[in-house]
């Protein structure tokens, strides 16, 4: 099992999207890499420096780290600094965080490949995880509870993630 934290704008959509992928053991919305160990939504919106993230635990036998990051890159605007969709502010920055040094190297390599593919630098942080705390319960699986809720990730991306999971699971059953 691997653990990584992904910031991609508002965590509602990213949390839902990640949950659709194969090999996901658990996912939860939270706050990472801010000025304090603990925080809450009000403090984050007031400038605590935390990023809205999704804590992802996954089985690398079913979903490799490069595959996970490639799927992540498909639902973010990698050039936007502190902004995704209509959301603006440092809490909406894109980033990949982990306390696993090998995963950190894999993430840095994935970002380098993305930059080479796109032909310019991106605004995706790759940093060690400094701190993390789970977001309030009403943020967990928000789009499942509120299907019409705001999300900067398109419905087509959600359908693609579900189809990707189906395809991977079929291949795993019939190697």
Q: Which residues have a catalytic role annotated? A: 10
Local structure of 57: helix, strand or coil: strand
Q: Which long-range contacts (CB under 8 A, 24 or more apart) does 138-143 make?
A: 139/11, 139/12, 139/29, 139/41, 140/15, 140/28, 140/29, 141/15, 141/16, 141/19, 142/12, 142/15, 142/16, 142/29, 143/12, 143/13, 143/15, 143/16
Q: First and final CA of the chain: distance in angstroms?
A: 21
């Amino acid at each position: 099992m691997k653990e990584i934290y992904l910031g991609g704008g508002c965590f509602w959509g990213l949390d839902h999207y990640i949950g659709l992928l194969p090999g996901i053991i658990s996912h939860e919305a939270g706050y990472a890499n801010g000025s304090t160990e603990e925080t809450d939504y009000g403090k984050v919106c007031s400038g605590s420096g935390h990023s809205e993230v999704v804590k992802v635990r996954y089985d690398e036998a079913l979903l490799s780290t490069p595959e996970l990051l490639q799927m992540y890159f498909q639902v973010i605007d990698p050039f936007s600094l502190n902004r995704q969709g209509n959301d603006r502010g440092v809490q909406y920055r894109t980033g990949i965080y982990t306390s696993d040094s090998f995963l950190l190297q894999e993430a840095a390599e994935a970002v380098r490949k993305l930059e080479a593919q796109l032909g310019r630098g991106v605004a995706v942080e790759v940093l060690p995880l400094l701190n993390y705390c789970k977001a309030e319960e009403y943020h967990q699986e928000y789009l499942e509870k509120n299907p019409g809720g705001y999300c900067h990730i398109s419905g087509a991306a959600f359908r693609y993630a579900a189809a990707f999971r189906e395809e991977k699971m079929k291949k795993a059953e019939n190697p």
